[in-house]
């Protein structure tokens, strides 16, 4: 006679992606340059710092309600960031954006169409 009883199963979170370079590698979004923020994507006013030649994404912190956004003296020369944060894209919206990009198993010979002008996707994930 088969044993009938309580079956217990457990789950474990093995790892998380908690830094931006790792996020860029796993999502195939290039995090370098002016359109480097994977959340704001093309809706950013990133700029190069005058003496450091590095890219500044000050307006990408719109989703954070931090008091520095209202500080006129310290950051953006009498500018206060009041723009509303961009809503997060749903799964179907992201799939529409990457529909014409080569899958990750195919190594592209050149950059995808619209790279930097419209998006920073390098490849489409096969998952």
Say what the pLDDT of residue 114 is: 64
Collapse the DSSP code of 24 into the 3-class scheme (helix H, G, I; strand E, B; otherwise coil) and give the result: helix
* pLDDT, tens digit (0-9, with 9 covering 90-100), for 19-65: 777 777 776 677 777 777 777 777 777 778 888 778 877 666 666 67
Q: pTM for this structure?
A: 0.48
Neighbours of 2 (CB within 10 A): 4
Structure tokens at 81: 């960031």
Structure tokens at 7: 């079956």
Position 68 pLDDT exceeds 60: yes
Neighbours of 117 (CB within 10 A): 8
Structure tokens at 14: 């093995």
Say what the pLDDT of residue 119 is: 64
Average pLDDT, the chain: 71
Share of the chain above pLDDT 70, in %: 54
Distance (Å, whole) CA 102 – CA 98:
8
Q: Report CA dihedral (87, 92, 93, 97) to the nearest 10 degrees.
A: 150
User: How confident is residue 90, by pLDDT bands cut at 50, 70 and 90?
Assistant: confident
* pLDDT, tens digit (0-9, with 9 covering 90-100), for 6-17: 777 777 766 665
């Amino acid at each position: 006679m088969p044993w009938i009883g309580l079956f217990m199963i457990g789950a474990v979170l093995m790892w998380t992606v908690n830094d931006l370079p790792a996020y860029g590698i796993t999502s195939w979004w290039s995090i370098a340059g002016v359109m480097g923020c994977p959340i704001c994507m093309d809706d950013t006013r990133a700029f190069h710092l005058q003496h450091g030649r590095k890219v500044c994404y000050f307006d990408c912190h719109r989703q954070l309600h931090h008091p520095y956004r209202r500080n006129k003296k310290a950051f953006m020369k009498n500018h206060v960031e009041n723009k509303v944060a961009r809503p997060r894209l749903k799964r179907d919206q992201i799939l529409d954006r990457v529909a014409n990009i080569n899958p990750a198993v195919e190594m592209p010979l050149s950059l995808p169409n619209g790279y930097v002008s419209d998006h920073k996707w390098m490849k489409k994930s096969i998952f």
